Amino acid sequence: MSLNVVLDAEIILDLLSLSKNDTQHAFTRLQKSLPIRFWIPCSLLPILEQRIFPNQHNPLTELLQETQLLSSLAVHWTHIPCDCTNKTQALISLDASTLPGSTIIWTQQEEFETLSDDIEAGDHEFVYAMLAEYEYEMDDKTLFDLETAQLLVRDELEANLFNVLKQGEYVLGHSVLRLEQALSQFVETQYCVATASGHDALLLALQAVGTEPEDEVITTPFAPPNVLKAILALGAIPVFVDIDPETYNLNPEALNSILSDKIKAVIPVNVYGQCADFDTINHIAMQHKIPVIEDASCSFGASYRERPSGQLGLISCTSFAPTHPFGGYGHGGACFTNDTELAVKLSQLRHFETESIVLGMDNGMNSIQASMLLAKLNIFPQEIQARQHIAQHYHENLVELVKIPYIAPDMTNIYAYYTIEVDKRDKVREALKETGITTGAYYRQPLHLHPAITYLGYKEQDFPNAESAAAKVLNLPMHAYLAQETQDDIIQALKKII
């Protein structure tokens, strides 16, 4: 959680001044504190333009390298009462209230007219006091951080959103085409077909390879339920294969014994951010002419033998759910392939066309979601590096304490979750929770034991590796913006508990 500090005109002018002053000293001091994001209101730009003089101030562009612009919404002006004595201040407060997290206004005015109950204003001593008050909240030990990336690309998110509204193409519009092209380039495939959700991507992939009711589809019992739901939605039958206890992914060695003429597809799920052994899986499946569909939702951004996740199956699918490594602001997904015929079929299945011989559905991505993902894609390479750096710090400090993630040779991991194994997992989770640390236990219920599919006859100990992992795995906080100080607190808490 970050603290947003919105600057008023006098503070901005002090920061730009050629003469050294207390405001500049305070600004430098605050920059060295816990994550703070400084904002310059766009509503002040016309005023500043009249008050910045070359012989007295540095250019505003210099300060913009250390701050961000805060957009002003037209609707906020209409919310300001006619009897308001300082409409500019009121507008700044309303614009500030749109920022996620905690927000204050830094001002030298003894009284600042704010119209938002959530927004307070004061001088640098007030800012220091608020920083101390928010310090505990800012030391955020949650599994995910959905806020920081949004703030980093906020200006581009806004521009993309308004472009969609201007174009008036709300489903499968120009921004969707741009996203498909960008994603194809990212995973190095010829085709990308963007969908309304990750579930829809899996559904279309299964349909594209001809899955029909009573067909069987092989997958892993240790995964989120997305693949299972897609298989059942088509009236097909899930056939589970146990996992490799080191990687938690589908074990290729168990495939040969269950392959039959009824099998329509194999769907390995890249659990936790590392790819399954696709060369082996593809080789076995190819001998039986069975297509392989990669679920890259948790591994998007990882690589397998120098090949990006997203191109490892005949069709590869991903989800852009908010908590995934490359997540959006709602549902979204995509299918990737190098097969022209399959790409055409996926597109036909995604959207109903009167001229098509395929009865398509309404599974297309909406243009606003695509525009948001385009903005986030620009910072995704840096987020990948940050995740791997954070994981390495966990490795170095936990390797002697618990079972840490195993990285197979010639692979990279995106660390959708940083997953360790501990005995008495639930007690450890509860103890960590008491110290303010949020953890996960994905996936504590193996899919073959889900009550919705008891009719398939699976029972306990059918897949012992999956069941053992489900009882022991613990997911620690992991995201690209996890501060090392916070991470060290997590590590020390774990060492005291175990």
**pLDDT of 461-484, one tens digit each?**
999 999 999 999 999 999 999 999
Q: What CA–CA distance (Å, rounded) separates 129 from 3?
A: 12
Is residue 431 helix, strand or coil? helix
Residue 198 binned pLDDT confidence (cut-offs 50, 70, 90): very high
Query: What is the overall mean pLDDT for the chain?
Result: 93
Domains of the chain: 3-138 (3.40.50), 154-377 (3.40.640.10), 380-497 (3.90.1150.10)
Give the distance between the most distant pair of CA atoms in the chain. Answer: 82
Bridge partner list, 19: none
Residue with tokens 């589908």: 250
Residue 36 binned pLDDT confidence (cut-offs 50, 70, 90): confident
Q: What is the pLDDT at residue 137?
A: 54
Q: What is the pLDDT at residue 132?
A: 76
Long-range contacts of 134-138 (CB under 8 A, 24+ apart): 134/1, 134/3, 134/102, 135/34, 137/1, 137/102, 138/1, 138/2, 138/3, 138/34, 138/35
Q: What is the pLDDT at residue 141?
A: 73
Q: What is the pLDDT at residue 324?
A: 95
Q: Which residue has the higher pLDDT, 317 or 136?
A: 317
Return the H-helix or E-strand segment holding 469. helix 464-472
Q: What is the pLDDT at residue 358?
A: 61
Which among 284, 272, 219 is positioned nearest to 248, based on CA atoms?
Answer: 272
pTM for this model (two decimals): 0.91
